[in-house]
A = this chain, B = another copy of it.
Amino acid sequence: MSHNTFGHLFRVTTFGESHGPTIGCVVDGCPPGIPLEVADIQGYLDKRRPGQSRFTTQRQEPDAVRIVSGVMPDDATGQALTTGTPIALLIDNVDQRSKDYGEIREQYRPGHADYAYDAKYGIRDYRGGGRSSARETAMRVAAGAIARKVLLSGPRVRIRGALVQVGPNVIDRSKWDDAEIDKNPFFCPDAAAAVEWATYLDGVRKRGSSCGAIIEVIAEGVPAGWGAPIYAKLDAELASAFMSINAVKGVEIGDGMSAASLSGEENADEMRASTDGSGPAFLSNHAGGILGGISTGQPIVARFAVKPTSSILTPRRSVDKYGDEVEVRTKGRHDPCVGIRAVPVGEAMMAIVLADAFLRHRGQVGEGSGRWPFTRPQTP
């Protein structure tokens, strides 16, 4: 992907720094005629918004989004519709406290991008992490909300994310209950795990420490045929999308890394004739809904791992920009586990990738895909 733009036909460009006046994005290539109001976006932003529980940063950002272009009230109904031209979204930053960052102006925080930015550009906006801050992900969530509307305009794609691991603590998959996900501050589908995580994270937070997490994102209702060989594989696009999220170090599709340990017999997702004519009935989903880079009609299942927040209170050894050795202890307001707020971000990136795949598929092949089963040629 190019610079700060993601996508080919459905394209998202973001801009803005953590402590600048405004962050924003441009969503270009959106199909016309799709109802779009602030409320469609704000709900997803509120899920990602900081300061909602003691487990996320206490920075208070209302994240009130404005739509400044690309929509138009319908003549007849007055309903705002997309026009097909670029949709620009803006969010003003309101709770910057740049003075918290006085020390890191010169010091490189271990695990952060401070040194890397300086090495690349010779200059960096250190205020709140500048462009490298996870604040950028608010615009991904906003753009993702538009992508979801695209995915509902023709296909009926439903995307849901969940936290499946916090630090070393893994959910019990037998207890997965979608209804639980919005009932706890962790987007955890296992009610019992959520209770344990609260205790665990209180400990992490009180120690001034941090922990990592694993997020799972599932898309249901994706028709067979999206994606494309070779370098435009749907899983390659998803890998790029998830790995571009701050602090992500690993991406898995279907069985992911553990696919290495399977036998060919175990790994084969067998198929039977379906009863509803929508495609073959798969008997398992080790592939995570993607074969040869193309969706199979099964749920698309992806996971990504977020490393522990690099901002911790324990002093760490480092250097400053002048080459001197220092000890760094990061004050300021931080998430003890950035993985929590990465759940809506992961959902958004899944939506953006799929909206783009939908339009690209329709461009090359048209609207008549999903032909299976084929008609057997007549033999005389």
Contact = CB atoms under 8 A, between A and B. Distances in A.
Identical copies in the complex? 4
Given A111-B287, A224-B115, A263 B232 contact: no
Interface string A28-69: 111111000000000000000000000000000000001011
Contacts of A369: 119-120, 122
A212 B256 CA distance: 11
Interface stretch (A174-182, A183-191, A308-316): A308-316
Given A254-B249, A268-B110, A224 B120 contact: yes
Given A110-B270, A296-B119, A308 B83 contact: no
B76 A377 contact: yes
Interface string A219-238: 00001111111111101111
B26 A365 contact: no
Interface residues of A, number: 173
Contact of A84 (B115, B120, B260): B120
Contact of A366 (B230, B240, B362): B362
A380 interface: no
Interface in A231-265: 231-233, 235-244, 248-265
A56 B235 CA distance: 26
Interface string A280-318: 100100111011111111000001011111111010111
Given A86-B15, A120-B369, A264-B309, A325 B272 contact: yes
Given A2-B11, A359-B364, A372-B118, A124 B293 contact: no
Interface in A1-27: 1-6, 8-9, 11, 13-17, 20-24, 26
A130 interface: yes
B119 A319 contact: no
A104 to B, nearest CB: 13
Contacts of A362: 362-363, 366
A26 B90 CA distance: 13
A266 B66 CA distance: 41
Contacts of A365: 31-32, 84, 120-122
Contacts of A3: 11, 28-29, 86, 228, 230-232
Which of A105, A112, A267 has most B Cβ within 10 Å? Answer: A267
A248 B252 CA distance: 9
B32 A263 contact: no
A321 B308 CA distance: 47
